Amino acid sequence: AQSVTQPDIHITVSEGASLELRCNYSYGATPYLFWYVQSPGQGLQLLLKYFSGDTLVQGIKGFEAEFKRSQSSFNLRKPSVHWSDAAEYFCAVNTGFQKLVFGTGTRLLVSP
Amino acid sequence: GAVVSQHPSRVICKSGTSVKIECRSLDFQATTMFWYRQFPKQSLMLMATSNEGSKATYEQGVEKDKFLINHASLTLSTLTVTSAHPEDSSFYICSASYNPSYEQYFGPGTRLTVT
């Protein structure tokens, strides 16, 4: 069965420091991959997506992610974190039937 | 573009009553809509998938008689929680997509509290 693993439950980063959130997936074929961000009490906002082509994907708010097939990973990165980036981040894979399978999420805390 | 709204944003109801949550795609026709449930500090769990004009497909373990889903038009889907109980209290999020697309657009969510 398809699955998504986000090994870090929460991460604390100093404002201005770089960020990397890990995501690993288990899926037999080439996946469609997504990163979403959720602020408390809010819905999900799409940060970026990978369908095919260039494995380095640029998203909104200065985020990027790199698809590495050999590692079954789709890690999210940002070179300089802002306090407003504090939120919950979800990695998700589309299984081909339009269903999304979500990881358990990583809560990002930003320290001054 | 691709905006999805939900109404109400939060609702409090008494145990035993029913409550309806609406999900609307505002600027596109949604051939498929999804309903998720999210417990505090947990991920989203898919409850059901609905296609316009047909019955919803429920995920394993979701009671279809308790969570009634109607997708009557290409812009509106409703989730009715029937005979609500405190354990139904949760954050319910809908999403919508259009063919051919593997992307889902999410609503802002509805906080349901059953007292």
Mean pLDDT by 10 residues, chain A (112 residues): 90 97 87 92 91 92 95 96 96 82 94 93
**Set of chain A residues whose Cβ sits within 8 Å of the Cβ of B6:** 43
Q: How many angstroms separate the CA atoms of A60 and A99, rounded?
A: 23
Question: And the tokens for B16?
Answer: 């035993």
Report the candidate in B112, B113, B110, B79 with the shortest Cα–Cα distance to residue B9.
B110
Q: How many angstroms separate the CA atoms of B14 and B12, rounded?
A: 7
| Closest Cα in chain B, distance from residue A67 (Å) | 17
> Which among B104, B110, B111, B112 is the top mutation candidate for probing chain A, defined by the most A β-carbons within 10 Å of its own β-carbon?
B104
- Across the interface, do B43 and A90 touch by the CB < 8 Å criterion? yes
Q: CB distance from A94 to chain B under 8 Å?
A: yes
Strands B10-13 and B110-114, bridge-based pairing: parallel
Specify whether the backbone of B39 is left (phi greater than 0), alpha (psi in -120 to 50) or beta: beta
- Across the interface, do A44 and B44 touch by the CB < 8 Å criterion? yes
Among B41, B49, B106, whose Cβ lies nearest the Cβ of A99? B49
Among A41, A44, A99, whose Cβ lies nearest the Cβ of B111? A41
pLDDT digits (tens, 9 = 90+) for B29-86: 988 999 999 988 888 999 999 988 888 999 999 999 999 999 888 999 999 999 999 9
**Centroid of chain to Cα A6:** 9
